[in-house]
């Protein structure tokens, strides 16, 4: 495949014409599942909190979630720690327990991303992707491998469910040689971390976490689908195409750059141009809108929410750095 990224210059007139032909009502509709996803994350975190607090305040969790994702967009990966720190402070639970909840959330998100990516790759032969038969076969096999990796992540989650407490006891026995003051500090740290993963011990809680995780990705798919509908007539993607695109972008978003949001935009452009044969200008505008709706729109809301709680830009940045240490 010949890359459009290197074959010609950028046609700004074509980009302007594309923006003029967009179905803007679909872009506005994409905001609904985008913002609903933050509420879904708050509900899932409430399940993580159950071993420590049976009835956490959903508004506290929602506020910390919105502020936290705004911090991620602004500061990159250090911003990840703003949310668990805020939740620990608002709900008056130990910070290590919420860092453990954050680890659990990342693992469930990875599990879902692997599943979506694996499904997308295994179905790539049915999509409108412009690849040769050899590459299609490789991608299909790759999809099965990714599904196997998702099963491996599930095994790790189940191991954390059943062996967290034995691991805690083993670590404490191992650290007995430390002076009493240091040992007590590590004991509190390890114990509160284990408390943070205890939500997976309950079958009902585990079911809810999986349900909320699936709902989260359904909302993502709805958001991407709405953006695709805004481009009907210029970029025509089927539902399977959208799932394939979403799977690639999900992995691109694992690399965060402060103020930009990460490699998701680059991946989005490459997938649209190289796999779907989309013109560079169309792919660029599509990727920009995906980035804006997925990452940027939460920033003003998060900053307003943070200011209402007495948190300014510097405090948010300091929170991320402090919690990550």
Task: Give pLDDT tens digits for 44-77.
Answer: 999 988 888 888 999 999 999 999 999 888 887 7
Per the structure, the complete domain to which residue 25 belongs is given by: 7-324
Tell me whether residue 2 is in a domain: no
Tell me whether residue 137 is in a domain: yes
Question: What pLDDT band is residue 275 in, cutting at 50, 70 and 90?
Answer: confident
Tell me whether residue 1 is in a domain: no
Tell me whether residue 17 is in a domain: yes
The whole-angstrom separation of Cα 200 and Cα 165 is 12
In three-state secondary structure terms, 234 is: coil
User: Per the confidence metrics, is the pTM higher than 0.75?
Assistant: yes
Q: What local confidence, expressed as pLDDT, does residue 259 receive?
A: 43
What is the rounded average pLDDT for all residues in the chain? 79
| Residue spans of alpha helices (H) in the chain | 4-7, 12-20, 24-49, 58-75, 82-91, 95-122, 133-174, 180-197, 203-230, 239-252, 264-270, 280-291, 298-308, 313-324
Q: What local confidence, expressed as pLDDT, does residue 133 receive?
A: 54
pLDDT tens figures, 206-261: 889 889 999 999 999 999 999 999 998 888 888 888 988 888 787 666 544 444 44
Tally of structural domains, the chain: 1
Check whether 130 has a pLDDT greater than 70. no
More confident residue, 281 or 171: 281
């Amino acid at each position: 495949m010949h890359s459009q990224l290197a074959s010609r210059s950028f046609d700004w007139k074509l980009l302007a014409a594309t923006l003029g032909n967009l179905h803007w009502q679909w872009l506005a509709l994409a905001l609904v599942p985008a913002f609903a996803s933050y509420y879904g994350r708050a509900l899932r975190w409430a399940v993580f909190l159950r071993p420590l607090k049976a009835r956490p305040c959903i508004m506290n969790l929602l506020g910390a979630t919105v502020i936290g994702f705004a911090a991620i967009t602004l500061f990159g990966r250090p911003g990840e720690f703003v949310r668990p720190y805020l939740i620990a402070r608002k709900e008056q639970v130990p910070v290590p327990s919420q860092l453990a909840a954050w680890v659990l959330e990342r693992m469930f998100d990875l599990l879902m991303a692997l599943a979506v990516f694996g499904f997308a790759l295994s179905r790539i032969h049915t999509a409108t992707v412009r690849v040769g038969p050899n590459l299609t076969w490789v991608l299909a096999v790759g999809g099965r491998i990714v599904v196997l990796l998702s099963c491996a992540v599930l095994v790790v989650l189940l191991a954390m469910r059943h062996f967290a407490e034995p691991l805690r006891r083993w670590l404490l026995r191992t650290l007995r040689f430390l002076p009493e003051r240091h040992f007590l500090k590590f004991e509190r740290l390890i114990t509160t971390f284990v408390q943070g993963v205890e939500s997976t011990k309950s079958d009902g809680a585990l079911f809810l976490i999986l349900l909320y995780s699936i709902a989260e990705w359904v909302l993502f798919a709805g958001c991407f689908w709405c953006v695709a509908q805004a481009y009907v007539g210029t970029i025509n993607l089927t539902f399977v195409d959208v799932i394939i695109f979403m799977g690639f972008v999900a992995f691109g978003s694992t690399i965060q750059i402060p103020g930009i949001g990460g490699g998701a935009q680059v991946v989005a452009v490459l997938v649209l141009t190289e796999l779907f044969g989309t013109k560079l200008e169309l792919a660029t505008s599509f990727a920009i809108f995906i980035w804006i709706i997925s990452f940027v729109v939460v920033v003003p809301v998060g900053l307003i929410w943070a200011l209402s709680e007495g948190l300014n830009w510097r405090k948010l940045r300091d929170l991320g750095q402090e919690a990550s240490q």
